[in-house]
């Protein structure tokens, strides 16, 4: 199966594989994208580019254009924010060092969560949570699943209510870098940083504008406008924000696993008019040939 070159591009710049919290291995994700008619894909795993090499091989065989991608967690005013990095140089030494550091931080946190829950006397808790996490670093949901398997609790919400939620022993805060820092990692590696799913943070319009202006001051250039499952009201709001702030518009499904009809690779609401698509600024710009 190859994508005809004279076809209108179908662009998805946000999705996950087993390299983070997605269900499909990178190669399988690329195959699914091809079967969905996606022509240009960015895999944006959380804080890692481990999946890209495998994906690149499969993409090459099927004529799908793979754009380098990542989704980085960071903090802004003590809130966790996600920044998508696109089309960066994946061999950039400073970026690779920063990702390594981020990875170590996540493992430190995982070990700390296991320590804090040691009173529960679950044998091999960290190892079991690691197995739950696949290729990812275990986080609180993975620990919760082990507690269910081991019969400590019966449900996910119980695990959080008793052991992992706010103020409980296993509630170890993630120590993410600052917003400005992760923006600079991407921009210095020749990429474009994009504020991910802006309506997901449940901020007031005023606060969101402040976030956007800090993001721009840090060198951020894009914002996700078309996101799967987003209401048309939110779509219009973010489109207007992008126009006013002169931000490049990005789009993506945020696909994690098959079987969720509201979230499929390449199935993204139409981008509103009057916006500057981020893919016009890729090192190999994507232009419509329709
Ligand atoms: Mn995720
Ligand atoms: Mn996200
Ligand atoms: Mn995501």
As a three-state string, the secondary structure of the chain is CCCCCCCCCCEECCECCCCCCCCCCHHHHHHHHHHCCCCEEECCCECCCCCHHHHHHHHHHHCCEEECEEEEEEEECCEEEEEEEECCCCCCHHHHHHHHHHHHHHHHHHHHHHHHCHHHCCCCHHHHHHHHCCCCCCCHHHHHHHHHHCCCCCCHHHHHHHHHCCCCCCCCCCCCCEHHHHHHHHHHCCCEEEECCHHHHCCCHHHHHHHHHHHHHCCCCEEEEEECCCCHHHHHHHHHHHHHHCCEEEEECCECCCCCCCCCCCCCCCCCCCCCEHHHHCCCCCCCCC
118 is a domain residue: no
Distance 195 CA to ligand 2 centre (A): 10
Domain containing 84 — which CATH number?
Answer: 3.20.20.140
Query: Which residue shows structure tokens 């091809």?
Result: 34
Cα–Cα distance for residue pair 94/116, rounded to 1 Å: 33
Residue 63 lies in a domain: yes
Domain with 231 in it = 11-92+192-281
What pLDDT is recorded for position 235?
95
Domain assignment present for 151: no
58 found inside a domain: yes
Q: Which of 19-23, 97-101, 195-199 has the lowest mean pLDDT?
A: 19-23
288 domain-assigned: no
Per-residue pLDDT at 21: 87
pLDDT digits (tens, 9 = 90+) for 43-94: 999 999 999 999 999 999 999 999 999 999 999 998 999 999 999 999 999 9
Residue 211 lies in a domain: yes
Q: How far is the CA of 120 from the centre of ligand 3 (A)?
A: 32
Answer whether residue 112 is part of any domain: no
| Mean local confidence (pLDDT), 226-253 | 94
Q: How many domains are contained in the chain?
A: 1
Using one digit for the tens of pLDDT, what is the confidence trace for 241-276? Answer: 999 999 999 999 999 999 888 899 999 999 999 999
Counting ligands in written order, which one lies closest to the CA of residue 200? 2
pLDDT of residue 290: 41
Average pLDDT over residues 204-216: 96
CA of 122 to the centre of ligand 3 (A): 31
Instruction: Enter the pTM of the model.
Output: 0.89
- Give a yes or no: residue 126 inside a domain: no
Which ligand is nearest to the Cα of residue 15, counting in written order? 3
Judged by its nearest atom, the ligand closest to the C-alpha of residue 263 is: 3
Q: What is the pLDDT of residues 103-162, one digit of tens each?
A: 898 899 999 999 999 999 999 999 999 998 877 789 899 999 999 999 999 999 999 999
Quick one: pLDDT band at residue 287, thresholds 50, 70, 90?
confident
- What is the per-residue pLDDT across 144-161, written as a single tens digit (0 to 9) for each? 999 999 999 999 999 999
How far does the centroid of ligand 3 lie from the alpha carbon of residue 44, in Å?
A: 7
Instruction: Pick the ligand that lies closest to the CA of residue 21.
Output: 1
| pLDDT surpasses 80 at 4 | no
């Amino acid at each position: 199966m190859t994508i005809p070159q004279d076809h209108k591009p179908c662009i998805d710049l946000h999705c996950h594989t087993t390299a983070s919290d997605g269900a499909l291995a990178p190669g399988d994700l690329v195959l699914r994208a091809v079967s969905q008619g996606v022509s240009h894909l960015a895999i944006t795993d959380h804080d890692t580019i481990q999946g890209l090499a495998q994906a690149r091989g499969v993409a090459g065989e099927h004529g799908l254009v793979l754009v380098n991608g990542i989704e980085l967690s960071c903090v802004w005013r003590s809130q966790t924010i996600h920044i998508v990095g696109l089309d960066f140089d994946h061999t950039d030494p400073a970026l690779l060092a920063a990702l390594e550091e981020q990875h170590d931080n996540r493992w430190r946190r995982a070990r700390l969560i296991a320590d804090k829950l040691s009173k529960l006397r679950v044998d091999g808790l960290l190892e079991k949570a690691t197995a739950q996490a696949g290729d990812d670093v275990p986080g609180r949901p993975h620990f919760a699943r082990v507690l269910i398997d081991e019969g400590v609790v019966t449900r996910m919400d119980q695990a959080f209510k008793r052991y992992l939620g706010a103020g409980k022993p296993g509630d170890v805060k993630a120590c993410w870098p600052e917003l400005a820092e992760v923006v600079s990692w991407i921009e210095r590696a020749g990429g474009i940083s994009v504020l991910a799913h802006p309506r997901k943070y449940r901020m007031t319009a005023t606060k969101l504008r402040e976030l956007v202006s800090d993001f721009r001051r840090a060198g951020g250039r894009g914002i996700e406008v078309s996101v799967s499952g987003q209401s048309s009201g939110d779509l219009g709001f973010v489109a207007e924000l992008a126009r006013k702030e002169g931000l490049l518009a990005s789009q993506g499904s945020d696909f994690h696993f098959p079987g969720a009809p509201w979230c499929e690779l390449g199935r993204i609401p139409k981008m509103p008019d009057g916006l500057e698509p981020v893919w016009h600024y890729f090192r190999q710009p994507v232009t419509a040939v329709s």
